[in-house]
Amino acid sequence: MDLQNSSHQNARRKVLQSAVCAVCHENGFGFAERAAVETLVEILQSLLFEIGRSGHAFCELSGRTQPLVGDVAIALIEMGIDVESISAYAKRVNRICIAKPSQAPKQVTPKILQAGDKKPFFSYIPDYFPPFPDSHSYIRTPTYKQPVTEYEAIREKSASQKRDVERALTRFMAKTCENSLTHSLFPDEQMSHLFPLISLKINSNSLFEAMTPKDQVFEEDEEEETKDKKSSKFGTNLQSETSKDSENVKVPECTASDTEIPDNPYLRLTKMCKKCKK
């Protein structure tokens, strides 16, 4: 409401200002200061307000709600204005006509988005209840996004991830490695940690180490020989242990009582497995 009132006041103010400027131009003024024009606008506005107030007072005095031309004429006479001179002033030759102010466009209220047709009320539901929602509200819609399957987008994403991993790894190595030398592209200390460059460790005898042969073949042969020796020792130990166990085992002598097999299986003698000598 405040914005509407301010816009209406500005529109009325512009009309009064154009009327004052037209009167000044008719009287031969080609230029006027802004303060002088504003003062004349205030005088004209107060004059019109007083004419309307007094005309409305005479209207209420006569017992009416809407004023007539006679009420306005009496108000002008009481204010000391000659009513007969108004018609002659309106018919002057050098009168400048003011253009009619343009009508402000009406504010269109936005329509409520409606998807589908609303269901009518059933016979047992009163009319003063709120209507049913749109049919679209009952439809289940997925909330997740579809995965990207385009080749270009996947390649761009993988490249960006690889670049981020490399950048994070270089920063981690630059901060954690004590012996590594780092260089920065920016001399400023605040920007030095953004793009660190790790220098390579250069060995002075790299060519010499590449030319010298290494006895890798001989080392492998020695390892195989040691494995064979260990396996042979382990086999001899197993054979000696099995022979000792076979010698210590005593075969029980069969008697008449042993030949009798009891009916109860829990009372039967255990049978020892015979070990075959190799």
| CATH number, position 72 | 1.10.20.10
Q: Is residue 83 in a domain? A: yes
Q: How confident is the model at residue 57 (pLDDT cuts 50, 70, 90)?
A: very high
Query: Residue 214's pLDDT is what?
Result: 63
What is the amino acid identity at position 135?
A: S
Asked whether residue 67 is assigned to any structural domain, the reply reads yes
Whether 87 shows a pLDDT value over 60: the answer reads: yes
Q: Name the helix (H) or strand (E) containing 182.
A: strand 182-184
In a domain, 47, yes or no: yes
Q: List residues bridging with 197 in a β-sheet.
A: 183
What is the chain's mean pLDDT, rounded?
Answer: 75
Q: Which two tokens stand for residue 105?
A: 């466009």
pLDDT in tens, 61-75: 988 888 898 888 898
Residue 18, domain extent: 9-91
How many domains, the chain?
Answer: 1
In a domain, 14, yes or no: yes
Q: How far apart are CA 102 and CA 143, in angstroms?
A: 49
Q: Which of 99-113, 160-174, 254-268 is the least confident region? A: 254-268
> Quick check: is 22 in a domain?
yes
Please tell me the total number of residues recorded for the chain in this structure. Answer: 278
Output phi, psi for 214, to 5 deg. Answer: -120, 140
- Classify residue 233: in a domain, yes or no: no
Q: Which of 189, 190, 196, 191 is nearest to 172 (CA)?
A: 196
Residue 162 pLDDT > 90? yes
Per-residue confidence at 119, pLDDT binned at 50, 70, 90?
A: confident
Q: Which amino acid is at 133?
A: P
Among 117-121, 124-128, 249-253, 265-269, name the one with the lowest average pLDDT.
Answer: 249-253
pLDDT given for residue 161 in this prediction? 93
Q: Which of 36-40, 121-125, 232-236 has the lowest mean pLDDT?
A: 232-236
- Arithmetic mean of pLDDT, 154-167: 90
Number of Cα atoms under 13 Å in the Cβ half of residue 225: 6
Which residues, listed in sequence order, are joined to residue 184 by a DSSP beta bridge? 196
Contacting residues for 73 by C-beta, under 8 A, at least 6 apart: 83
Specify the range with the lowest mean pLDDT, choosing from 29-43, 103-117, 121-135, 185-199: 185-199
Distance between CA atoms of 195 and 184, rounded to whole angstroms? Answer: 6
Residue 23 lies in a domain: yes
Q: How far apart (Å, rounded) are the C-alpha atoms in residues 90 and 86?
A: 6
Max Cα distance, the chain (Å) = 168
The pLDDT of residue 156: 92
Query: 87 burial class (0-12, 13-18, 19+ CB within 10 angstroms)?
Result: exposed
pLDDT at position 256 over 50:
no
Q: How confident is residue 181, by pLDDT bands cut at 50, 70 and 90?
A: low
Per-residue model confidence (pLDDT) at position 95: 81
pLDDT exceeds 90 at position 267 = no
**pLDDT score recorded for residue 249:** 45
User: CB count, 10 Å around CB of 142?
Assistant: 6
Note whether residue 85 is domain-resident. yes
